[in-house]
Amino acid sequence: MDKKSSLHHMTYEEAREYFSGRDLVILPVGSVEQHGPANPLGTDMLIAEALAQEVASRSGVISLPVIPFGISFHHMGFPGTITVGEDSLGGYVLDVIRSLSRWGVKKVLIVNGHGGNLPTLQIVARRAMDELGVRVYVYQWWTSSSHILEELFEEDERGHASGAETSLNMHLHPELVRRDRLTDERPRGSFGGKVYRFVYTHEMSDSGVFGRQSSASPERGSVLFERLVEDLLRVVREMEEGKLEG
């Protein structure tokens, strides 16, 4: 990783030079929440941070420090999970964008590592455009690149903390994955159908894993990570060229 592709590693003079020529930054947002007995609590922030940093290093666009905490109250049945409220996260991210706007930033690519953050980040994106004239786009690796996931992993490997996510952890931070605790569990019930209801994670899964985790490997994680980075690089190019603007 090129350290000078991270804002927090730059001096203010280097930041001034960057902002004088480019108006796009990458902001990773994650969570600290359970990911089963084998994965670290910081899975979502670690993956978002790694994707953002690698894309920044290859593209020349700077990445900001990861915002670690997210909206994770549905995982609070498991020890160590940290959650913040919608207003807290939304206000925090919008304040960051306000600061960026002062330095001429007009486009922000949020690499979101946790699905529970998405509705709030969408509201932030709308407010940033309306109040600041800043275009904000949110990328989630498991939905924005769902075609890649479907090519590389079976359906029961694409759930929370299952094969795909665990493979990324094994590739990025193998020392943090407890291979002796890999767990497969089919979740009970469903999130919705004709009508929707709210379900806590522990009501659907004893382990916190949704699907097949035991099939994960660092090799599969390496392939997935590279494909995701390539996909994100295309998004960055389209943002710089104005192709995503409606």
pLDDT value at residue 96: 98
Q: What is the pLDDT of residue 245?
A: 72
Q: Give residue 191's pLDDT.
A: 60
The pTM assigned to this predicted structure is 0.95
The CATH code that applies to domain 3-240 is: 3.40.50.10310
Give residue 244's pLDDT: 84
Average pLDDT of the residues of the chain: 95
Q: Give the pLDDT of residue 195.
A: 76
- The domain ranges of the chain are 3-240
- Tell me if 244 sits within 8 A of 188, measured CB to CB: no
In this prediction, the residues of the chain whose per-residue pLDDT falls under 70 are 1-3, 190-193, 246
What would the pLDDT profile of 86-95 be if each residue is shown by its tens digit? 999 999 999 9
Pairing of strands 24-29, 107-112: parallel
Task: At 182, give phi and psi (nearest 5°).
Answer: -60, 135
